[in-house]
Structure 1
């Protein structure tokens, strides 16, 4: 045992990290070979090293499983065209953005903070709600290009939640999209103040959530000291919304949010019509 410990301690951390990086790069190269030059040339922006690494990480670094998942996602992207969705394409965006939106701050680890308020009733169809989620996921994916690990913290305010606030078919479809087409983006999912009735609903949800994603879920309660410490360790409380135990009580500013989303669209390079509107194929 002592020889084993010596052998482990002899390897410098820098060398170990370099070896891990080399192994990851070899796997990325292998996935590119399995995908084929035609597919990688078709979607060069999507099939970046960062995207392939993300799929590999989500599939336990299996090149075969990551390649299969990427091929399925490429097929879905051909049909859905998520990269063409812009802020102007979101139906009822002035209302829907108050239900789910990207915060104007990061957590202490530099991760995107995504806020959802299911108690606010949507005025959009299921199809349009999914479209809005995909639009946000595209922004997360763009941010993930510069991140080694998962890049998003998802906060959900369940204060006052009832069963009809979250239709199960919609949740199932959204979960499928996140797990299959945008894996490796969610770092932590915080469910804040869920009522007791949510426990039964959660048991059903767990049936179609992958174990890896389930492990990222944390239940927190704003009147619980332990929960407050979890939140305080992750966020600047002056920026965090009061619904999650922070001190930020400022109202949601739709004008500023719209401008931020338009800048994100420009950064993503989502195409536009000549009249200034998106050329998204989704309606």
Structure 2
């Protein structure tokens, strides 16, 4: 084991020699040992690749990160969270899956800090974890990432109950247990007062994740170009500078129906013995009648 780890840390490999990524995925699978049940279904080749990418293809670091995630998933059981358990957190629509996708077909999570409605840090984290799992469940074929669009409309420091500790917990969970799942994080029209909070929490953000964060402001030329590069303006709601006549008004009853349907889909997938070779948690299509 020690020799294997040394080899892929580059100690026995010329620094200019390209890494054999497929071989490293196999090495990581060997390193983590036999898996069963949920862990086996979670650890697809695509999943192992994301952990290796997140740790710059350092086998030892990727193995440590993956084992920590498997332990977290075993204890936290994110795949077993159901909508009725987090529904109260979602009543105001502070986090929801958008009814549009980005330019690359990736699902979009819309976050509205100005609609914060609870004081429970753990409740906020659990609600977000549920929606991340839901977004992964709905990834299109061949896609592994999602986009976050954080809308600061109505945000004030007094209106929100999100504390720096909760923000750190959210950052820790997403960085540690959902590596390479985020394509871009758009901070849409953040007020100056938010910059102080961002300066605090930015110390806890991984440098690779930090580069994915984009500050976007209405009527700003550079911001408009950023939005165009990540979103098709024909499908983007006008609230975000697009041309689509899509309503972003959150309908809790309709969204709840959608989540309950997805809970059934999720349960079928995780309780199935079928193998999956694409996403970590992408279910196979239901047969059509």
Q: What range is the shorter-chain TM-score in?
A: 0.7 to 0.9
* 40, 43, 54: which one aligns with 2:39: 43
Calculate the TM-score normalised by the size of structure 2. Answer: 0.78
Q: Deviations over 1:82-105 (max 9, x none)?
A: 110112221415514x10001122
Which whole-Å deviations, capped at 9, do the CAs of 1:97-125 have from their partners, x for residues lacking one? x1000112211101111100001122352
- Equivalent of residue 120 in structure 1, options 115, 135, 160: 115
Q: Is the Cα contact below 8 Å between 1:85 and 1:270 reproduced in 2?
A: no
1:141 aligns with 2:139: no
Q: Distance in 2 between matches of 1:160 and 1:254?
A: 19
Alignment correspondent of 2:22: 25
Cα deviation digits, residues 190-238 of structure 1 (max 9, x gap): 0011112222222211111010000000011012122122213322334
Matching of residue 237 in structure 1 with residue 196 in structure 2: no
> Aligned residue for 2:173?
177
Secondary structure of 1:130's aligned partner:
helix
SS in 1 for 2:180: coil
Q: Is the 8 A contact 2:25 2:49 kept in 1?
A: yes
Residue 140 to residue 27, structure 1, CA distance change in 2 (3 Å): farther
1:157/1:255 Cα in 2 relative to 1: closer, same or farther (>3 Å)? same
Alignment partner of 2:81 out of 76, 82, 85: 85
Deviations, residues 107-152 of structure 1 (Å, cap 9, x unaligned): 110111110000112235221111111111212333568446x511
Counterparts of 2:58 and 2:140 in 1: how far apart (Å)?
A: 20
User: Residues 135 and 146 of structure 2 are in contact (CA less than 8 Å); yes or no, is this contact kept in structure 1?
Assistant: yes
The separation in 2 between residues aligned to 1:107 and 1:147, in whole angstroms, is 15
Is 1:159 aligned to residue 153 of structure 2? yes
Corresponding residue for 1:224? 220
Structure 1 length as normaliser, TM-score?
0.80
Which residue of 2 is the match for residue 205 of structure 1? 201
Change (3 A) 1:80 1:67: same
For residue 172 of structure 1, report the CA deviation from its aligned partner.
0.4
Structure 2: which 5+ runs fail to align?
A: 1-17, 271-289
In structure 2, what is the Cα distance between the partners aligned to 1:146 and 1:124? 37
- Residues 97 and 135 of structure 2 are in contact (CA less than 8 Å); yes or no, is this contact kept in structure 1? no
Aligned equivalents of 2:84, 2:41: Cα separation in 1: 22
Alignment of 1:182-197 (within 5 A): 182-197=178-193
Q: For structure 1, which runs of at least 5 residues remain unmatched after alignment?
A: 1-19, 273-283
Residues in 2 aligned to 1:122 and 1:129: alpha-carbon distance in whole angstroms? 10
Distance 1:140 1:53, change over 3 A: farther
Structure 1 CA distance for aligned equivalents of residues 268 and 125 of structure 2: 18
